[in-house]
Chains A and B, each alone.
Chain A
Amino acid sequence: MMTATEPLTIPADWRDFLALTKPRVMVLVVFTGLCGMLAAPVAIDPVLGFTAVLCIALGAGAAGALNMWYEADLDAQMRRTAKRPLPAGRMDRQSALHFGVGLAVFSVLLMGLAINLAAAAILTASILFYVLIYTVWLKRRTPQNIVIGGAAGAFPPLIGWAAATGQVALLPFLLFALVFLWTPPHFWALALFVKTDYANAGVPMLPVVAGERATRHQIGLYTIPMAAVAVAPWPLGLTGPLYGAVSIAATAFFALLAARVATRMAADGDTMRPEKRLFGYSVAYLFIMFGALVVDRWLA
């Protein structure tokens, strides 16, 4: 029973817990995981397939929650993230920590018990990689933070494939490499037009530390191996001509937008339209590539 002198602690709303899981990021994670599963040569029972995708989503949500728990101070300094539940004061840090750890353990246990140990092991690695390697270790220490941290977001196709087959093969590794190499141009395009936010928060993003020219150069450089990995499944005989055609066209357009960003410099009052276009298309690009892969495998 509450007394008049006791301070009231208002519990967080369930929508704030949902926001902790970064639902918008989860969409891409779930999609690439699902495509990894559907591209596998072994058909998985629909219920088990749904469960595996659910585990991938919950694991990604847990990693997002733990990221927000650890970075609450940083989020408070950036306009883009200041309204998140922790910096906005709608939730206490302990609730976020308990929620994140609980969700992570639940997702791994469910994956291990209902699907298989290989998928559970890769899911564990992806959560630990995102939380410990990216969030705790790299993000505040090196401008290469998102290069290595990008690996965390590249795990879902591997997990999806492992959920269906119980093992991993060359194609899911190429999908992993595609997302891994796609991450730097994707995030650095964003960092170029939200540079001030990152600078104010003291995050050593490449544009803040090495400058705009170096960042644009790196976007161009990472696009080259990304393009090679994106197209590789076709000449290697892992996919059919449909994937080959779509991957060449979609990757060529990506490279065109990246080249435009890589070869220009922003003037005073620049609207950063090419950078915004590259960032926007980079999201669509992954959907196109993974969608084409699944359709191609179904037609084969």
Chain B
Amino acid sequence: MTDPRRDDEDLIRQRQRSRSIVLALLLGAFVILMFFIAIAKIKAGYS
């Protein structure tokens, strides 16, 4: 028989890991977006 508390802890770890991965991907995408926004602004004549 499995320990329900142990199962919950596993689920928590799994959720935390997947949320961390999604957050890291979003932050990476944001950095790339900011880079291209900066390039677009410079091209358009803003400093």
- Would B40 and A48 count as touching, CB distance under 8 A? yes
Binding site for B on A (CB under 8 A): 2, 4, 8, 10-14, 45, 47-48, 51, 54, 114
Q: Does B22 contact A (CB under 8 A)?
A: yes
Chain A residues near B33 (CB-CB < 8 A): 47, 51, 54
- Would B39 and A10 count as touching, CB distance under 8 A? no
* Closest beta carbon of chain A to B44's beta carbon, Å: 6
Q: Does B11 contact A (CB under 8 A)?
A: yes
- From A2, A14, A45, give the contact of B43 (CB < 8 A): A45
- From B8, B37, B44, give the contact of A51 (CB < 8 A): B37
Q: Is the interface of B mostly helix, strand, loop or mixed?
A: helix
Chain A residues near B11 (CB-CB < 8 A): 10
Task: Give 9 closest A-B pairs by Cβ, nearest first.
Answer: A47-B40, A14-B22, A45-B40, A47-B36, A8-B8, A11-B15, A114-B37, A14-B19, A48-B40
Chain B residues near A54 (CB-CB < 8 A): 33
Bound: A51/B36 CA distance, A? 10
Q: Is the interface of A mostly helix, strand, loop or mixed?
A: loop
Within 8 A of A (CB), among B1-21: 5, 8-9, 11-12, 15-16, 18-19
* Closest beta carbon of chain A to B28's beta carbon, Å: 15
- Would A8 and B12 count as touching, CB distance under 8 A? yes
Chain B residues near A2 (CB-CB < 8 A): 9
Bound: A48/B41 CA distance, A? 9
- Would B12 and A12 count as touching, CB distance under 8 A? no
Determine the residue in chain B with the shortest Cβ distance to A46.
B40
Apart from A13-B15, A13-B18, A114-B37, list 14 A-B contacts with CB within 8 A.
A2-B9, A8-B5, A8-B8, A8-B9, A8-B12, A10-B12, A11-B15, A12-B15, A45-B40, A47-B33, A47-B39, A47-B40, A51-B33, A114-B41
- Would B37 and A11 count as touching, CB distance under 8 A? no
Determine the residue in chain B with the shortest Cβ distance to A48.
B40
- Would A11 and B39 count as touching, CB distance under 8 A? no
Bound: A62/B14 CA distance, A? 26
- From A11, A14, A45, give the contact of B44 (CB < 8 A): A45
* Closest beta carbon of chain A to B34's beta carbon, Å: 8
Bound: A54/B30 CA distance, A? 11
Bound: A10/B14 CA distance, A? 10
Determine the residue in chain B with the shortest Cβ distance to A115.
B37
* Closest beta carbon of chain B to A49's beta carbon, Å: 10
- Would B43 and A11 count as touching, CB distance under 8 A? no
Determine the residue in chain B with the shortest Cβ distance to A14.
B22
- From B19, B22, B40, B41, give the contact of A11 (CB < 8 A): B19
Determine the residue in chain B with the shortest Cβ distance to A16.
B15
